[in-house]
Amino acid sequence: MGFMDELKQRNFSIYGQWIGILAILLCIALGIANIFHFDIIIVWSVICLVTGLFLIFLEIPLLLRVCPTSKAFDGFVRQFSSNYMRAAVYVVLSIVQWTSLVRYATSLIAVAVVLLLAGACYGLAGLKNQEFMNSKTLGGGGIAQMIV
């Protein structure tokens, strides 16, 4: 099953996962870009970078098998294996980035919006009682099971 076949299934958890991949890219890029403000925004930039690194392991299940991580971290990440739990994580992470507006508006708003969109997709998947699915393109299902 390819990328387009997954999107045609109309499962909002797949949409949430791909928006989550976009959020990873934005978190890392904009987290680095905003570190150079030399202001209190550095706090949100560091949080954004840590969020990006956490989301890599959350959204790409293959990495939990390939990268040497602790069992505690693996167990923590695996707690978020339902649509509602992922929606909650994304909404909380989005709220954290929205609070960066307390100081002034930066490009971290884009991260907050994309995180909120991913959370909305996972929330819709939960409300529509859709089964949680990982994209096979990103190592869910078949690929992750093959690696010993």
- For the chain, the structural domain boundaries read 3-146
Q: CB burial class (10 A; 0-12, 13-18, 19+) of residue 113?
A: middle
The dihedrals phi and psi of 107, each to the nearest 5 degrees, come to: -70, -5
* pLDDT band, very low/low/confident/very high, at 6 (cuts 50, 70, 90): low
Query: Whole-angstrom Cα distance, residue 22 to residue 16?
Result: 10
* pLDDT band, very low/low/confident/very high, at 98 (cuts 50, 70, 90): very high
Q: Residue 52 pLDDT more than 90?
A: yes
Query: Whole-angstrom Cα distance, residue 20 to residue 93?
Result: 12
pLDDT: is 134 or 59 the higher one? Answer: 59
pLDDT: is 147 or 49 the higher one? Answer: 49
* pLDDT band, very low/low/confident/very high, at 2 (cuts 50, 70, 90): low
pLDDT at 46: 94
Mean pLDDT of the chain: 86
Q: Residue 147 pLDDT more than 80?
A: no
* pLDDT band, very low/low/confident/very high, at 146 (cuts 50, 70, 90): very low
Mean pLDDT across 110-114: 95
What one-character DSSP code corresponds to residue 12? H
* pLDDT band, very low/low/confident/very high, at 75 (cuts 50, 70, 90): confident
pLDDT at 119: 95
Query: How distant, in Å, are the alpha carbons of 35, 60, 98 from that of 141?
Result: 37, 11, 34
